[in-house]
Amino acid sequence: MAPVDIMDRFKMLYSKQTYNDPPMLSINTAAVLSILVTLGYVVPFYISKTTRPSPSLSRDAPSVIRSRVRAVTMACVASTVFVLVLIALKGNDTPLPEALRLLGWWPIGIVEIIKSLLLTAILFGGPFFERGVVEDGWKSWIRGQGLSETLRSWIGFRNYVAGPITEEIIFRSVIITLHLLAKMSPGRIVFVSPLYFGIAHIHHFYEFRLTHPDTPIPAILFRSIFQFAYTTVFGWFAAFLYLRTGSLPAVILVHSFCNWCGLPRLWGRVEADVSVGLPQMRAKEDSEISPLQVAGTLIPVEFFSSPARFAKFSYERQSSDVRLAIFIGLSRY
């Protein structure tokens, strides 16, 4: 029997209504609620001193990470309960188990998880071959070398556990469900719902400016625009997977997997010593990196200090792979 995806579940929910019945929510209401849910995820970062970064306190500090994880966990619980109540009230007394199915919590969908991970791995086929076969790194992957150490660190826990779980609950399970209740088409949902996900990362502009005051504004602005772009593109992919599989665990694991891999390297030839994963960063390492290094991650500092010098800046000096790895490493949740 073919798996029942999330669209089929919502069709069954709507089958209790007559054809001419209006949607449970208007599109405008779904948009407003999605904005409120997004704000509920981000705003708590700046309410308390324990979650708010400062020039002397990095967002990578363990105390900040712990406080933020608690805040977003409460936001996820509150948002999920709100949508469950909404489905129960507007869905002709939909039972709780069915409501959880509509939110993608159940069933787990082992087959869907495997298919989603295999599909995602195709994006990283080249880098995986390079690191695993050319550099003989497959042995360390099998042994799980470095995995336990990474997950035991607060930064690793944030990037690969707490971040993917809470973000997928909010931006896939909750926000996509709100738009499905408004009877928005799946195609529009795939392209519209990730915008909330991308916008939720814009606050990193303020955080980075706060902790790196000497970095040129254009560099920080470009960093934020780039971050918005790639988080939105990932959101399109995650929304597509979620609508096709109806499995929240599947998109959570895909999110964690992509966080580990970083952006797929789509250029260059196969060579040794090009890392697939993210650079390991200590809690205070953010403040130890020179602002000039940060500004030059993707655009050399010469561009902001002297356009004429930038015109003469040689391609060989850019070390694009290393710059991109640092850039993505500093752009995390």
At residue 272, the pLDDT reads 56
217, amino acid identity: I
State how far the Cα of 174 lies from the Cα of 138, in Å rounded to an integer.
37
Q: Single out the catalytic residue among 112, 167, 168, 207.
A: 167
Tokens 């070390």: give the residue: 319
**Residue 176, φ and ψ in degrees, nearest 5:** -65, -40
Q: Any idea what the Cα angle at residue 111 is, between residues 106 and 116, rounded to 5°?
A: 95
- Burial of 287 (C-beta count, 10 Å sphere; 0-12/13-18/19+): middle
Partners of 54 in beta bridges: 57
203 is a catalytic site residue: no
Tokens 């509920």: give the residue: 40
What are 280-297's pLDDT values in tens digits? 433 333 333 333 333 333
Q: Single out the catalytic residue among 201, 204, 212, 255.
A: 201
What are 198-234's pLDDT values in tens digits? 887 777 777 788 777 888 888 888 888 888 888 889 9
* Residue 113: its H or E element: helix 110-123
3-state secondary structure at position 54? strand
Measured between its terminal Cα atoms, the distance across the chain in Å is 39
Q: Within its chain, how far is the Cα of 308 from the centroid?
A: 37
271 is a catalytic site residue: no
Q: Which parts of the chain register pLDDT below 50?
A: 1-3, 274-333
